[in-house]
Amino acid sequence: MKVAKLVSVSMFAAILSAGAAFAQTDPGFQSAGRNTGVPLSSVNATDGSLEFFDNGLVRFQDVESVTGTANVGLGPRFNFNQCAGCHVAPAIGGASGPVNFEASVVGTCNGVASLSENPVSIDQGPPAQTAPEMTPQQKGVIACSSTNTTPSFVTANGPTVEARFPFFFNADGSVNTASPNGGVEDLFTVSGRPDGATNCNISQPSFAAAASANNLILRIPISVFGDGLVENLDDSTLVANQTANLNNNLGISGSFNHNGNDSTIARFGWKAQNKSLELFSGEAYNVEMGITNELFQNEKPLPGEDITSGLPATCLNLGGNGYPEDATNFSLGNDPDQFTDPAQQQFAMNATIPSDIIQFAMFMRLLAPPAPGGVVLNGAAVSAANISAGQSLFTSVGCATCHNPNNGNTQASNISNGTNGNGLGNTPVHAFSDFELHQMGTTLADNVSQGQADGDDFRTAPLWGVGQRIFLLHDGRTSNLLTAIADHSSSGSEANTVISNFNALSATQKQQLLDFVRSL
């Protein structure tokens, strides 16, 4: 089975940490020796799970258009036109890569031929047989330069981002701190595109004014490796972990964000605002690409438009097929004769029927956790003894109180149960997160509330896979672990005592702890 991976890993060298200014050095992105971006070992061709994983992988890479015959529904506002363009490093399903594709979205629209084209079709059969291995890439223009500009905070070698305004503006352009906003302000519009959006005349948000008024925050994509295991942790296990972690002398408390419908624990997103992978998929499809679906049936206006006018009628139903733009494929599963190969027939009958958001979720659900591995620092392999010492220090200074290394086992699963802990069911989870909300203080606060999460609350970021993560913290402000650690400490942060403990370590001990974290 082919799994699309980045091929130009050497490009990460340009974004390595600036650790030379410290007595310790962040080893940075670890490029070798880790098998990341593969399905759970229980996923196989016999029970059909491999078909669904492969199909979801292809759909995750599909490039969306405004109109046409396939992958239709982009816009009228969007951040990018492909899931894999944002979740890319170190493999499909990861986080921001070394090249930010958002920086090349805007260009001259010289007719339909200049627009981005889809390099993979879901009708080609099992991707293990037909889909080329490739790096996600923008092929052609996505947003027209006659109606769009690239925001100043979107840079070619910076992180992929989405933007939010914490507060609404007053009529005179001042910030109204009594009127919370926090919704996503999509970066680009389809206005001016020649593929059906010529009459949709809408403008980009006022990013320059928001930045000038200090009313702009950014968020970066989160890796989805291992999220199926996280989804399958039962609430009682998380609560038991919380009870154990509360027994500390570090000033750490923590709470869960709960789903508003059934009151169960939500666990996905920077503020743990999403309950399930289906909900995460449906929301991202609608918010990041403007594609309506069976969970989010309506086009998304900007937060300001949503409380005033909504989207113009000329920007609705641009695909011309009605809503939702992504729906169950009732007809695709009824024509297996379009393929001659038995495996392709099964693919047509089974994996093509669900809508995109179901297959996005299934792809993420069946993705194996990120693989730990060795660490190379300044060209030399770090010894296992140093990494082990770093692991002990990680616990002793208090990092493991929130970044819990042992979450317990998942509940039984009838999706891909597996044996010996290799499937979704009865499998240990080593996510290095308690999935709780913690107050992180003024330095990290973004003044955005989601569910029970307030403006300085964040879900403990899972550290599995951080060895192959380029940009750190919710806004990707740094690529240096030392900076990320330091920014955990500020007025009102629960992590202040832990950071004091870290700062009290010797230079050698700090290096060992950094080496351990990059081994994850």
208 and 237 in a single domain? The answer is no
Q: Please tell me the total count of domains within the chain.
A: 2
309 and 405 in a single domain? The answer is no
* Dist. CA 361–CA 280, nearest whole Å: 8
Q: Which pLDDT value is given to residue 48? A: 84
253 and 207 in a single domain? The answer is no
**Is the Cβ–Cβ distance between 119 and 132 less than 8 Å?**
yes
Task: List pLDDT tens digits, range 277-312.
Answer: 999 999 999 999 999 999 999 999 999 999 999 999
Q: Which pLDDT value is given to residue 114? A: 85
Q: Per the domain annotation, does 481 fall within a domain?
A: yes
232 and 303 in a single domain? The answer is no
How does residue 1 score in pLDDT terms, banded at 50, 70 and 90?
Answer: very low
162 and 294 in a single domain? The answer is yes
DSSP single-letter state for residue 378? T
Q: Which pLDDT value is given to residue 150? A: 98
Return the HEC string of 183-203. Answer: CECCCEECCCCCCCCCCCCCC
Range of the domain at 427: 227-273+369-519
Q: Per the domain annotation, does 183 fall within a domain?
A: yes
Q: Which pLDDT value is given to residue 133? A: 36
* Dist. CA 80–CA 59, nearest whole Å: 15
Q: Per the domain annotation, does 37 fall within a domain?
A: no
Higher pLDDT, 239 or 18: 239
The CATH code of the domain that includes 414 is 1.10.760
Q: Per the domain annotation, does 352 fall within a domain?
A: no
Q: Per the domain annotation, does 35 fall within a domain?
A: no
97 and 239 in a single domain? The answer is no
Task: List pLDDT tens digits, range 71-83.
Answer: 899 999 999 999 9
pTM here is: 0.91
Q: Per the domain annotation, does 402 fall within a domain?
A: yes
Among 76-80, 205-209, 352-356, 478-482, the range scoring the smallest mean pLDDT is 352-356
328 and 316 in a single domain? The answer is yes
241 and 172 in a single domain? The answer is no
AA letter at 300: K
- Residue range 372-397: mean pLDDT, rounded: 97
DSSP single-letter state for residue 91? B
403 and 490 in a single domain? The answer is yes
- Residue range 370-396: mean pLDDT, rounded: 97
322 and 462 in a single domain? The answer is no
Q: Is the pLDDT of residue 244 over 70?
A: yes
Q: Per the domain annotation, does 3 fall within a domain?
A: no
Q: Per the domain annotation, does 357 fall within a domain?
A: no
CA distances from 500 to 126, 204, 251, 397, 494 (A): 53, 43, 12, 9, 12
384 and 455 in a single domain? The answer is yes
- Candidates 496, 403, 517; CA nearest to 441 is 496
238 and 210 in a single domain? The answer is no
Give percent of the chain with pLDDT exceeding 70: 88
Q: Which of 288, 316, 338 is the last residue of a domain?
A: 338
